[in-house]
Copies of this chain bind each other. A is one copy, B any other.
Amino acid sequence: MKQIEHLVNRIAQRISINLRELDFDIQPYIRNTIPMSQLVKFYAFYGITPHHPLNFHFSHSSLAGSYFLGKSRVDHSILYKSDIRGDELKSKGDLFKFDGGVVPVHEDESIQIKDSFLIKTLVHNYSHDPESLEVFFINDSMSMHYTNIHGSPSEGCFFQPFSTIDLTTAHDCVIGRYSYVQVGEISHIEVEPGTIWIKNRSDFNFLYRYPREILNRYVQYQPGDGPPTGIFMNFIEERKPDFKHIYDVVNIEPSISIPKGTSLDRYAVIKRKTHIEENVLVAQRAYLENIWLGKGANAQENCYIINSRLEGYNVTAHGAKIIHANMGEKVFVGFNSFLRGSEDCPLTIAKNCIVMPHTIIDLQEPINIPESHLVWGFISNSSDLKHQSMSLQAFSEIREGIVLGDMLFEGSGEKFVKGFQNRIQHILEANGAFYDGRSNRGHAQKNQKISFNTIQPYPEGDLMGLYPTIEIRP
């Protein structure tokens, strides 16, 4: 597999050049994290439906275990068990709203990944960037386990495990493990691990940072030592065997009944006693066990929902985990959040709550979060709630700013809350939560029938692990 080693070197060199100002050494990360032999073990796959723009181009790349939907292009890259979902990209003729005006989109947008190395990364959503309407690019970048690159064109970046970059364009940056960044545009900075940072120009700025000793319990990483460790990885590894069967068979019959308007991806794991209602979207690589999912709820890629009841219109974002919880209607749980109750210490979250991305609620006692609250940071008991939650009403009344525990907020609380609520509404709409049998179709309806196609690399020789050049067009 000589060629693929050249490719790894080529990617490492490019990222190093981009990160030279930060004096960051990418080599131990890129070289030791995935054994090259893994790259021939897993098939990649892509979905075909009449409802999605179909346009794939793969060249000089390894795609082991990766999944593609929509319009995307991958060149000179290694995508290991990643999800590239280009099914919410902008279309030719769309009008992109910006600064009170509109910019017409002159061709269908595509995701373009080049000279990059992504590991178990979710790439999704149209890019927010008004400077690059038609291309959502990821160039000269590396992302580690369970990163989300969400509507965020990136070049020369390194995303550490469980980090999320959301609606942000990033140039030559390092994002620390379990950090969440949604700030519009950044360049040449290193974001410290465990940082939750949301900024909208001069409107507001939200900043929280996990205490290092807590963060390390959940996700730790030593360059050169292989995959990350900690509670997050242990939790995922324990459930890995459940995925084996779904990748081993070609066709799989759903084990539960699928109501009207609902889609259950054939690559999701559904365990005992799971019930789902209408207009639900269960994405691939979601894991559901002993749960009730109410109407219009969605369970996105890499999420785990176990021993829980979600009343309806719940968003469980990419990578979020919910265990032993009762959630009222329209509770939003952001990216990579980890909400773990237990039989003795259940978690109750009342309706209309917003659980911020990258929130950890890991209970030592039962807690109840009242309706319409915003929750963030690390919570293990009721007293933590005092400094890590606030009613949406109270938050909306913030005019200048506030400091609460490890959280700093500047600007308009109202704009922050409104922004979040609008986005949740958009997510529910896009996922088809409000489908009435005729209008408001979304992913839940469009993804009901997908043809899955599988691709594999050269099985031996110099090209071993690399995929041939593949182009798929309508």
Q: Given A453-B456, A457-B451, are A48 and B468 also a contact pair (CB < 8 Å)?
A: yes
Q: Is A405 an interface residue (CB 8 A)?
A: no
Interface 9-residue window, one of A247-255, A343-351, A416-424, A429-437: A247-255
Which residues in window 26-59 of A have CB below 8 A to B? Answer: 43, 48-51, 54
Which residues in window 420-459 of A have CB below 8 A to B? Answer: 449-459
Contact of A54 among B247, B468, B472 (CB under 8 A): B468
Q: Which residue of B lies closest to A50 (CB)?
A: B461
Write out the residue numbers on chain B whose beta carbons fall within 8 Å of the beta carbon of A248. Answer: 249-251
Q: How many copies does the complex hold?
A: 2
User: Whole-angstrom distance between the alpha carbons of A458 and B52 in the complex?
Assistant: 11
Cβ–Cβ contact B453 & A50, under 8 A: no
Cβ–Cβ contact B250 & A458, under 8 A: no
Q: Is A471 an interface residue (CB 8 A)?
A: yes
Q: Which residue of B lies closest to A460 (CB)?
A: B449
User: Whole-angstrom distance between the alpha carbons of A471 and B57 in the complex?
Assistant: 9
Cβ–Cβ contact A454 & B457, under 8 A: no
Write out the residue numbers on chain B whose beta carbons fall within 8 Å of the beta carbon of A454. Answer: 250, 453-454
User: Whole-angstrom distance between the alpha carbons of A248 and B248 in the complex?
Assistant: 9
Q: Which of A50, A453, A474 has the most CB of B within 10 A?
A: A453
Cβ–Cβ contact B460 & A452, under 8 A: no
User: Whole-angstrom distance between the alpha carbons of A48 and B40 in the complex?
Assistant: 12
Q: Is A473 an interface residue (CB 8 A)?
A: yes
Cβ–Cβ contact B463 & A473, under 8 A: no
User: Whole-angstrom distance between the alpha carbons of A461 and B450 in the complex?
Assistant: 12
User: Whole-angstrom distance between the alpha carbons of A468 and B456 in the complex?
Assistant: 18
Cβ–Cβ contact A458 & B249, under 8 A: no
Cβ–Cβ contact A473 & B468, under 8 A: yes
Q: Is A470 an interface residue (CB 8 A)?
A: yes
Q: Is A25 an interface residue (CB 8 A)?
A: no
Write out the residue numbers on chain B whose beta carbons fall within 8 Å of the beta carbon of A247. Answer: 250
Cβ–Cβ contact A470 & B468, under 8 A: no
Q: Which residue of B lies closest to A252 (CB)?
A: B248
Contact of A249 among B249, B450, B461, B474 (CB under 8 A): B249
User: Whole-angstrom distance between the alpha carbons of A451 and B54 in the complex?
Assistant: 24
User: Whole-angstrom distance between the alpha carbons of A50 and B457 in the complex?
Assistant: 10
Write out the residue numbers on chain B whose beta carbons fall within 8 Å of the beta carbon of A51. Answer: 461
Question: A35 to chain B: closest CB distance in Å?
Answer: 19
Question: A466 to chain B: closest CB distance in Å?
Answer: 10
Question: A114 to chain B: closest CB distance in Å?
Answer: 18
User: Whole-angstrom distance between the alpha carbons of A117 and B41 in the complex?
Assistant: 36
Question: A373 to chain B: closest CB distance in Å?
Answer: 42
Q: Write the residues of chain A forming the contact surface with B, with a CB cutoff of 8 angstroms.
A: 43, 48-51, 54, 247-251, 449-464, 468-474
19 contacts between A and B (CB under 8 A): A43-B250, A43-B453, A48-B468, A49-B459, A50-B461, A50-B463, A247-B250, A249-B250, A250-B250, A449-B459, A449-B460, A451-B456, A451-B457, A451-B459, A468-B474, A469-B471, A470-B471, A470-B472, A471-B472
The 5 closest A-B pairs by CB, nearest first: A451-B456, A50-B461, A449-B459, A471-B471, A469-B473
Supplied contacts A248-B251, A449-B460, A469-B473, 15 more A-B pairs, CB within 8 Å: A43-B250, A48-B456, A48-B459, A49-B460, A50-B458, A50-B463, A250-B454, A452-B456, A453-B453, A468-B473, A469-B471, A469-B472, A470-B470, A470-B471, A471-B472
